[in-house]
């Protein structure tokens, strides 16, 4: 099935029918507090923003920049930002610590607190979120339990186990595994740190979304230093928390100058595309096995918090075949002469593959024009992960797996 793009019928315009106050929880001031917490870890360092001048020329664009999250905390993915900040806020609440000026040292479990000894974190993940949560729990001295959906890569499970967490691959799809984890949390008094929201469970997902603001604040700072104003931003969506957080920050920070947001999803789990297509403004879930190469995006039920933001501020929703992500991986790994190679995983390269299709495929001419992707466009991509499963990465980049006749 070819790619499908839908212009968002619900989009609001900042200054007309949308107010920046609507995204105040994702403002630069909030981002500064979140970033200060992350900076309290000795491993913190801003990840690089890489300008691909050769790719921009090849595609007929003014500029293309890629944020490389494979460098984040040595964990090969951005997810730790959300999980770690949510854990910090949960601990501050449980241990009666002030929210302002949170640091790693004040939250570390020294064994002297009875309240701290009763805390266990639990979550469902395809791999990256769980790995980040396990790392945070280890750094702060708390137990952690992770469940993964059916079909998850054993390599991702082993990465989590290596950080000292319990980790099991279940016989359920992602959404059903989330429900199982929630029931276990309720029965045992665990703290569930999940990056999707539903009615009655919204505070922790909101903190996770705020955790991603460190990444967004770094991007804005780096682009300002390079004198680049992004006009378009491609954001991958699973449950949508990452995409919504970045979109909300860009609107809060840039107002009417915020870039056009294009949401990218796999065909097998295109819940945001289907929600927009339904036309009534309500979130829609998609069912089935949700099997896709883009494992980090294999989520069938959108976060209610994410949908409320993306419905208002997204320009277009794009549903993509797996080969598009694979093509993005190869593009970034073997770039135009003079550009820096980027190791980008299956979910990380989805935006790059979508951009290439829009700029190069004859069938995409109308969509390209509708989005304003022209010689004056400055495009921002975020590679959210590196080669989190090396053998899959090599099969795609070295051996050409998941190719398609359109790119043959």
- Residue that is written with structure tokens 């051996």 in the block: 399
**Owner of token pair 């499970």:** 157
Q: What is the mean pLDDT of residues 40-46?
A: 97
CA–CA separation, 219 and 305 (whole Å): 23
- Judge whether residue 322 has pLDDT over 80: yes
Which residues are part of the catalytic machinery?
Answer: 79, 126
**Ranges of CATH 3.40.50.1100 domains, the chain:** 4-77+209-407, 80-205
Instruction: Pull the structure tokens for residue 363.
Output: 């069938």
Is it true that domain 4-77+209-407 has CATH number 3.30.465.10? no
- Asked if 287 contacts 271 with a C-beta cutoff of 8 angstroms, the reply is no
- Residue 293 CA to residue 23 CA, distance in Å, equals 32
Lowest mean pLDDT among 97-111, 294-308, 320-334: 97-111
What is residue 408's predicted lDDT score, i.e. its pLDDT? 41
Bigger pLDDT: 133 vs 117? 133
**Rounded to an integer, what distance in angstroms lies between the CA atom of residue 229 and that of residue 92?**
37
State the Cα–Cα distance between residues 138 and 135, nearest whole angstrom. Answer: 5
- b/e string for 182-206 if b means 16 or more Cβ within 10 A? beebeeeebbbbbbbbbeebeebbb
With a cut of 90, say whether residue 22 has pLDDT above it.
Answer: no
d(CA 83, CA 356): 31
3-state per-residue secondary structure call for 128-194? HHHHHHHHHHHHHCCCEEEEECCCCCHHHHHHHHCCCCEEEECCCCHHHHHHHHHHHHHHHCCEECC
Which of 163-167, 196-200, 290-294 is predicted with the least confidence, judged by mean pLDDT? 196-200
C-alpha span between 347 and 292 (Å, rounded)? 10
pTM above 0.85, yes or no: yes
Domain 80-205: state its class: alpha beta
- Whether residue 405 has pLDDT greater than 60: no
Judging by beta carbons within 10 Å of its beta carbon (0-12, 13-18, 19+), is residue 99 exposed, middle or buried? exposed
Residue 228 burial by Cβ neighbours in a 10 Å radius (0-12, 13-18, 19+): middle
Least confident of 111-120, 165-174, 281-290: 111-120
pLDDT one-digit tens code per residue, 214-254 = 999 999 999 999 999 999 999 999 999 999 999 999 999 99
pLDDT tens digit sequence for 337-366: 999 999 999 999 999 999 999 999 999 999
Q: What is the mean pLDDT of residues 304-320?
A: 97
**DSSP character at residue 10:** T
Q: Name the least confident of 10-24, 33-47, 69-83, 93-107.
A: 10-24
What are 70-123's pLDDT values in tens digits? 999 999 999 999 999 999 999 999 988 888 899 999 998 876 566 777 899 999
Residue 326 has pLDDT above 80, yes or no: yes
Asked whether the predicted pLDDT for residue 270 surpasses 70, the reply is: yes
Q: Residue 395: is its pLDDT beyond 50?
A: yes
Mean pLDDT of the chain: 94
* pLDDT band at 26; cut points 50, 70, 90: very high
E-strand stretches of 300-363: 316-320
Please state which of the ranges 57-61, 63-67, 151-155 shows the lowest mean pLDDT.
151-155
């Amino acid at each position: 099935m070819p790619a499908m793009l839908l212009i968002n019928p619900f989009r609001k315009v900042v200054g007309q029918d949308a107010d920046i106050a609507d995204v105040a929880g994702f403002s630069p001031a909030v981002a500064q507090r979140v970033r200060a917490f992350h900076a309290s870890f000795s491993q913190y360092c801003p990840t690089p923003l890489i300008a691909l001048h050769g790719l921009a020329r090849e595609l007929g664009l003014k500029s293309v920049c890629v944020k490389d999250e494979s460098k984040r905390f040595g964990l090969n993915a951005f997810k730790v930002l959300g999980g770690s900040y949510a854990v910090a806020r949960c601990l501050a609440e449980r241990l009666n610590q002030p929210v302002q000026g949170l640091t790693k040292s004040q939250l570390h479990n020294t064994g002297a607190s009875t309240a701290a000894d009763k805390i266990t974190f639990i979550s469902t993940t395809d791999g990256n979120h769980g790995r980040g949560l396990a790392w945070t729990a280890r750094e702060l001295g708390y137990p952690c339990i992770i469940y993964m959906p059916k079909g998850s890569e054993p390599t991702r499970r082993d990465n989590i186990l290596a950080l000292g967490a319990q980790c099991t691959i279940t016989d359920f799809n992602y959404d059903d595994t989330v429900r199982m984890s929630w029931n276990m949390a309720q029965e045992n008094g665990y703290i569930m740190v999940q990056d999707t929201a539903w009615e009655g469970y919204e505070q922790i997902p909101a903190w996770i979304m705020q955790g991603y603001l460190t990444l967004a604040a770094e991007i804005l700072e780096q682009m300002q230093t390079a004198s680049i104003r992004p006009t378009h931003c491609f954001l991958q969506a699973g449950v949508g928390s990452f995409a919504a957080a970045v979109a909300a920050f860009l609107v809060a920070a840039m107002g009417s100058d915020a870039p056009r947001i294009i949401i990218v999803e796999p065909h097998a789990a295109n819940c945001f595309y289907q929600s927009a297509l339904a036309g009534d403004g309500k979130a829609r879930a998609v069912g089935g096995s949700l099997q896709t190469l883009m494992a980090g995006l294999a989520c069938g039920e959108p976060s209610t918090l994410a949908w409320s933001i993306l419905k208002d501020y997204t320009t277009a929703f794009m549903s993509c075949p797996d080969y598009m992500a694979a093509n993005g991986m190869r593009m970034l790994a073997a770039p135009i002469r003079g550009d820096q190679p980027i190791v980008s995983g299956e979910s990380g390269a989805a935006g790059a593959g979508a951009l290439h299709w829009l700029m190069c495929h004859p069938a995409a001419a109308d969509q390209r024009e509708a989005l304003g992707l022209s010689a004056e466009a400055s495009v921002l991509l975020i590679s959210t992960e590196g080669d989190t499963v090396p053998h899959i990465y090599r099969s795609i980049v070295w051996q050409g797996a998941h190719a398609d006749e359109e790119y043959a």
